[in-house]
Amino acid sequence: MRSFPLPIALTARLSPVVVLAAAGWALSSGPLAAPQAAENRPAEKTRPQSASAPSRTQVPKTYTAAPAPCDSVAEKSVKSLVPGARTAGKEIPSTDAKLRRTCSWNALEGYEYRWLDVSFEVLESDDAAERSYRGRLEEKSGGGPVPGLGDAAYSVVNLTTEDKQQTREGVVVARASNALVIVTYNGSDFESKKAPGTDEINKGAIKAAKEAVAALEAARD
């Protein structure tokens, strides 16, 4: 426990002998005593300093913003994939346009209908993008990998029928560092009620995805 010196008022009330003894202590070994020579002074124990927590260095992001999605697919490709569509496309409103952007093209030419969506999503890290990529693959099972597209890419095509009308849809999900590129491409024939072939839809979706990933990489430079 920490000791406190006697209050001055209490000391004054003590007998002269006690007062003199207290004064002698103060001069010889108390707070008024001369400091000891350095060589006679016992070594002070230093308290070990606690190691500071290691600093967490934030890894810089490869991509910090999504590129303009309506500029990500060449006009020539839009005309080929979505005949009759406005090549400028239409950007879909986003809650965070810096990190998530989508452009859509759709048109009905004769009885042939085509729809193309290209989306960019920028995440906080490569690991976060990888987790999101894996999660999307679980939702779209049944497809296969697309070699040479981003860090990893996956393609799947599905056929749906509603009121005897077929629609075939292809989806490509590609990851490039901390960003995802998602392409959706589908089509229907309202005269025959048949859908385009699997090969046509799959190749069209992959073509758009390759151009979109190239646009993402170009926007970083």
CATH code 3.40.1000 region(s) in the chain: 69-220
State residue 88's pLDDT score.
Answer: 96
Residue 54 has pLDDT above 70, yes or no: no
Structure tokens at 191: 């005269």
Question: Is the whole model's pTM more than 0.75, yes or no?
Answer: no
- Right CATH for 69-220 from 3.40.1000, 3.30.460, 3.40.30, 3.30.2220: 3.40.1000
pLDDT at 221 (0 to 100): 60
Query: Residue 141: is its pLDDT beyond 90?
Result: no
| Average pLDDT rounded to a whole number, residues 3-11 | 42
| Alpha carbon distances (Å) from 160 to 143, 164, 168 | 16, 10, 6
The CA angle 151-153-155, to the nearest 5 degrees, is: 175
Question: In DSSP terms, which residues pair with 143 in a beta bridge?
Answer: none
